[in-house]
Amino acid sequence: MKRKPLIAGGLLVLLCLLGFAIRAEGSQSQGQAAKAWPELFGKRKLYQCEYASIYAGKKSGADQAKKVLQTVVKDLKQAGVTHLTDGLILVRDNTENLPIETTKIIEAVSKAEAEKGGEKSQDTLKTLTEAKEEVEKEGLEVEVVLSLVPIPIGPGGLPDVLKEFPGDVNQPIGWCIIVPTDACVKAGIKKIIDFGMKKEKVGLAKRLTVGALMPLIEHKAAEHVKKSWQAVLYQLILDAEKDLPEQQKQDMVKAYKQKLGLDDESKKNNNR
């Protein structure tokens, strides 16, 4: 089906800008994330694991996040990385809103960009804000779009994130990431496809065809998103390793994305 330029452009900008890793330079892990976190963050419950504090509405969501984190940690250690920073993982399920308001997420991403020393942090903020406004003007909730991407937040944005927690939370963490569950991704994909078909006034025959393919589409989307935030998390933690040259880090991230089939060259090979 044809897509409106806005849907193909504005949404893509928003997804891409929020879907890449933000540099993180934090304290070294002691093998266990700090335990002085509140037991509840809104309706989300605290689940502790090695290298991260996880907030999720359901244990199943926390288990998904923990499994991906364990995989990333294992891969980093096998690659010779010895200093792993503790972090914070906020899980979003299909029946839950974002744990932090969209505007604050955009500000946090922009601050993390500024922390890297980049001169384009204001441009990033402007681009994200405009994309958000365009998506909402088109009639699609931006929160639906954000249900499909991992949202990484580096130290520059952490103070704003921690302000959202009850009490005086001051934990030595180096990164934060907001991740969707498989169910959240599947629900988001369905909403966006339904929105697109309604917008394009797709006929009944095509609707039935798309409906028959939805289970496969949802499954593929969930697997891709999980690999995407696996790569994001890999870079978030890797960037905090001070003993490695910058070029080596970049090469490691590139190789990891290739391993996961997320780089352009792997996609070309898979399509042959």
25 vs 173, residue with greater confidence: 173
The predicted structure's pLDDT at residue 222: 75
What is the token pair recorded at 44? 């989300």
* Model confidence pLDDT, tens digit, residues 97-147: 889 888 888 777 777 666 655 444 455 556 566 667 777 777 777 777 777
The predicted structure's pLDDT at residue 147: 77
Range of the domain at 129: 5-270
188 vs 17, residue with greater confidence: 188
Burial pattern 59-81, b for ≥16 Cβ within 10 A else e, equals: eebbbbbbebbeebbebbeeeeb
The predicted structure's pLDDT at residue 5: 39
Into how many domains does the chain fold?
A: 1
The predicted structure's pLDDT at residue 89: 95
The predicted structure's pLDDT at residue 212: 75
The predicted structure's pLDDT at residue 7: 41
Beta strands (DSSP E) in the chain are: 40-41, 44-49, 52-56, 87-92, 151-153, 175-180
* Model confidence pLDDT, tens digit, residues 168-218: 776 778 889 999 998 888 888 877 777 777 666 767 777 677 677 777 777
What is the token pair recorded at 176? 């934060």
3 state DSSP class of 92: strand
The predicted structure's pLDDT at residue 141: 75
In the predicted model, what is the mean pLDDT of the chain? 75
